[in-house]
Structure 1
Amino acid sequence: MKVALVFCLLASPVLAEGPPAAGRVAFFGIHFIDLSTEGAINGVRADETARTGMAAALVAEDMVARGFVLVPLDPVAKRLETVSNPARCNGCDTAMAQELGADYALTGEVSKVSNLILSLQLNLREAETGKTLRAGTVDIRGNTDESWQRGFRYLLRNLIFRK
């Protein structure tokens, strides 16, 4: 059975003049938000936890393949433990990226509405100014490894690194 995958931009993507130049990136991983009734009743699912790690590895590998250097987050680890979601922390991502000597802060999210509807998001911001350079959101259909991989690859190829 093929996985039906539908990409739907929820808002206009934020695009700089050209793709961001390779540099040092503080990648704060992918944050999973379960808005589904299933999550409220059954709690955390092992497959979704694994999928979140897989998605973070996919994004990290793509960044490195494009010439970016991922900076270690160890120096800000204690502060990061106090942040529930680096994508929504009022600029703490760029403040920590600056402290780490990074050029960029990269955050990601997966919002699960149901097993059929999930929304994936990536946001690349300039560490020094906090300005969003590239960002985008896509909806996917299906809560599988394949649908998540396709969704994040789409975001990277068509929004974050679109020429």
Structure 2
Amino acid sequence: MLRTATLSLILLATPCVAGEKVAFFGLTLLDESLQTQTAGADPAEAARLKKLDTLVRERFAAGGYDLVDLAPVQDRLDRVVNPAKCYGCEARMATDLGADYALVGEVQKVSNLILTMNLQLRDATSGETVKGRVVDIRGNTDDSWMRGMRYILKTAFFNGEEQ
């Protein structure tokens, strides 16, 4: 009996399981560096952001999650600068899409040396974060960006499992 009760508590404590629907609203680059003000947007960073987006999508799909199509809310999403900070609009859109969770993330560039990235899984009904991680990375390279996101996925979402 005690074993069954313990197992039930463990299952209740697991907020997200494979097979549930996730609305992934992509990643947003927040460039607060002085380099952008003088040189303009860096196409290499846009390409890195796209690679991270693909990595996240592929990892969640490989983990058994159902990534929902955002097309029905695309007009609303196009008006949002940063889905990770839109006062719950991501949770409302996820609910409208029939998703269990909204997945949002950011890469914040402080300089070419210091960047921070985060990924958060939020309950579509309450908007509360159920899983997430923030990591600081050093170096503005393809390798550092990918290594940072792989670490987030491995430690916060997939119990130490790498793809």
Fold shared by both chains (TM-score > 0.5) = yes
Larger mean Cα displacement after TM superposition, 92-101 or 17-26: 17-26
Shift of 1:18: 3.1
Secondary structure of the corresponding residue to residue 90 of structure 1: coil
- Give the aligned partner of residue 18 of structure 1: 14
1:108 and 2:109 aligned: no
Shift of 1:42: 1.3
Amino acid paired to 2:108 = S
Q: Is the 8 A contact 1:20 1:161 kept in 2?
A: no
Shift of 1:19: 6.0
Amino acid paired to 2:17 = A
Secondary structure of the corresponding residue to residue 72 of structure 1: coil
- Give the aligned partner of residue 123 of structure 1: 120
Amino acid paired to 2:124 = A
Shift of 1:39: 1.0
Measured in 1, the distance between the counterparts of 2:148 and 2:13 equals: 23
The structure 1 residue matched to 2:82, chosen from 80, 85, 93, is 85
Q: Is the 8 A contact 1:118 1:141 kept in 2?
A: yes
How many pairs are equivalent? 148
| Higher RCO, Cα 8 Å, sep 6+ | 1
Measured in 2, the distance between the counterparts of 1:106 and 1:69 equals: 12
The structure 2 residue matched to 1:68, chosen from 62, 65, 78, is 65
Please give the root-mean-square deviation of Cα atoms over the aligned residues, in Å: 1.4
Q: Is the 8 A contact 1:19 1:161 kept in 2?
A: no
Measured in 1, the distance between the counterparts of 2:16 and 2:100 equals: 10
Q: Is the 8 A contact 1:18 1:162 kept in 2?
A: no
Identity %: 49
The structure 1 residue matched to 2:49, chosen from 49, 52, 69, is 52
Residues 40-62 of structure 1, C-alpha deviations (whole Å, 9 max, x = no match):
11111110000000000001100
- Give the aligned partner of residue 39 of structure 2: 42
- Give the aligned partner of residue 8 of structure 2: none
Q: Which has the higher helix share?
A: 2
Measured in 2, the distance between the counterparts of 1:19 and 1:130 equals: 13
Shift of 1:20: 1.9
Residues 70-99 of structure 1, C-alpha deviations (whole Å, 9 max, x = no match):
111000011011100000000000000000
